[in-house]
Structure 1
Amino acid sequence: MATTRILVVDDEEDLCEILKFNLETEGYEVDTAFSAEEALKMDLSVYQLLLLDVMMGEISGFKLASILRKNESTANIPIIFLTAKDTENDMLTGFNLGADDYISKPFSIRQVTARVKAVLRRTANKEQTKESDLLVYETLVMDTKRIKATVDGVEVALTKKEFEILKLLLENKGNVFSREEILSRIWKDEVYVLDRTIDVNITRLRKKIGIYGKNIVTRLGFGYCFEF
């Protein structure tokens, strides 16, 4: 299992070293930067969590967070602010910038490690949810949350019915569905839908998903399935 990497950004070097030592004791891999400027020279996309001091030189922790949230490679990295600024407005500013937690100084190391574990646990749960929204077969990917299908990273324009048929087949790879089953699941109570409608949609779907069209096979006399 990969080690979780954390970056601590704070202009108090002693505090950075204390946090580094204690978080490494918990099993994390920890780096430090003593200013936002120094942090921005690093490849921040490799970290799973950032601990940012708010009150630093020319670029504050809030400003740094704002920069990171606008960059695709760092936009989703969880951030915990460590700061002496604990007014309600400061906290709201932090959370509006997408902070995952806000710890006021002075704090205990036990408090920090507990908050770090909690944020990482929440992030892991989010990632699992995101992954559950994806149906993947090699480079064919369906994002069922965003209603989007791609082949080799290129979006495929599917109609609603084509998307639902592909979703049904990918969710049940290897299972054969008769035309009647597909009609009842995809078209439900819609009237005047012929078996031939299924065939037409399957034909179009095969063409649109390119090399994976061959995976949608016909079982003569039975129906269709996605072979893998």
Structure 2
Amino acid sequence: MDNENKTRLLAVDDEEDLCEILKFNLEAEGYEVDTANSGEEALEMDLTSYRLILLDVMMGGMSGFAVARKLKENPATKNIPIIFLTAKITENDKITGFNLGADDYISKPFSIREVLLRVRAVLRRSETHAAEETVEEPHTLEYKGLVVDLDRKTVIVDGEEVPFTKTEYGILCTLLEHPGRVFSRYDLIRHIWPTDVLVSDRTVDVNITRLRKKLGQYAGNITTRLGFGYYFDK
């Protein structure tokens, strides 16, 4: 596999032999692994290039907790997952670590199989979280020169803001959000009007007529499917 396509990890531990063991076994699993033998050395590296950091807690000089604090204070590295490696796990240690943003703990001595499983699990959670953060709800509904601003609750028709009633706006959003889907009068009543308000089919038709008049050249996109209802035709 090309190194550019590999997931890069950093193992930080003042035990050089342990770093080499981690590097050998993680690279056998397809990861690209760098090592550092102190917190100070790690902080001199380009940490933004790593997808996960394995970080020893008890090191000579700067502790793993201090390194983690530095990472989380930096906007460029604050979202990098951290797995702490430690021979000493008291409840207070765990609380400190998790408060610093730790994603997991592995107690020494550990099996390589456990490390591989935990690394895989943390990376999977991290990828899922990143994907969720990038999925944003749309703030506009658009068709050519017809733009509905969902934040400001306004409708722009060919560059000009056109006033819509709340009901007309609701109908337009419902149809434009699901182009091609036919909504019966009952569907629109259920979507738009409060449940305690009695609305007739005629009321729906009147609002559709008003809506079309305000849409200018896009009036024809609000299409009637006889016997079924209305839909937005793109």
**Runs of 5+ consecutive residues of structure 1 not aligned to the other structure:** 135-140, 144-148, 207-213
1:83 to 83, 86, 92: 86
Identity %: 55
Matched, 1:99 2:102: yes
Q: 1:18: how far off? A: 1.3
Q: 1:81: how far off? A: 0.1
User: Could you report, residue by residue, the CA deviation over 1:82-117 in whole angstroms, capped at 9, with x for unpaired residues?
Assistant: 012222211221122221111122222222112212
Say if 1:17 and 1:165 are closer, same or farther in 2 by CA, change over 3 A.
farther
Q: Distance in 1 between matches of 2:102 and 2:198?
A: 53
User: Could you report, residue by residue, the CA deviation over 1:123-168 in whole angstroms, capped at 9, with x for unpaired residues?
Assistant: 344445x16x83xxxxxx517xxxxx389xxx97345x87997588
Say if 1:178 and 1:111 are closer, same or farther in 2 by CA, change over 3 A.
same
Q: Distance in 2 between matches of 1:67 and 1:163?
A: 49
CA contact (8 A) 2:10 2:52 kept: yes
Q: 1:182: how far off? A: 4.3
2:122 to 119, 122, 127: 119
Q: Map of 1:137-156 to 2, 5 A cutoff?
A: 141-142=136-137, 149=139
Say if 1:126 and 1:226 are closer, same or farther in 2 by CA, change over 3 A.
farther
Structure-2 residue corresponding to 1:46:
49
Say if 1:156 and 1:181 are closer, same or farther in 2 by CA, change over 3 A.
closer
Structure-2 residue corresponding to 1:157:
151
Q: 1:26: how far off? A: 0.9
Structure-2 residue corresponding to 1:185:
191
Say if 1:108 and 1:157 are closer, same or farther in 2 by CA, change over 3 A.
same
User: Could you report, residue by residue, the CA deviation over 1:32-86 in whole angstroms, capped at 9, with x for unpaired residues?
Assistant: 2222233233332332211111123443211222222233333332211001222
Say if 1:173 and 1:221 are closer, same or farther in 2 by CA, change over 3 A.
closer
Q: Distance in 2 between matches of 1:80 and 1:176?
A: 51
Structure-2 residue corresponding to 1:16:
19
Q: Distance in 2 between matches of 1:123 and 1:58?
A: 29
Give, as a single letter, the amino acid of the residue that structure 1 aligns with 2:191.
Answer: R
CA contact (8 A) 1:169 1:175 kept: no
Q: Distance in 2 between matches of 1:164 and 1:4?
A: 47
**Runs of 5+ consecutive residues of structure 2 not aligned to the other structure:** 142-148, 154-165
Structure-1 residue corresponding to 2:181:
175
CA contact (8 A) 1:165 1:182 kept: no
Q: Distance in 2 between matches of 1:16 and 1:163?
A: 60
Using the size of structure 2 for normalisation, the TM-score is: 0.64
Say if 1:188 and 1:104 are closer, same or farther in 2 by CA, change over 3 A.
same
Using the size of structure 1 for normalisation, the TM-score is: 0.65
CA RMSD of aligned residues (A): 4.2
Runs of 4+, deviation exceeding 6 Å: 161-165, 196-202
Q: 1:178: how far off? A: 6.4
Q: Secondary structure of the residue that 2:221 maps to in structure 1? A: strand
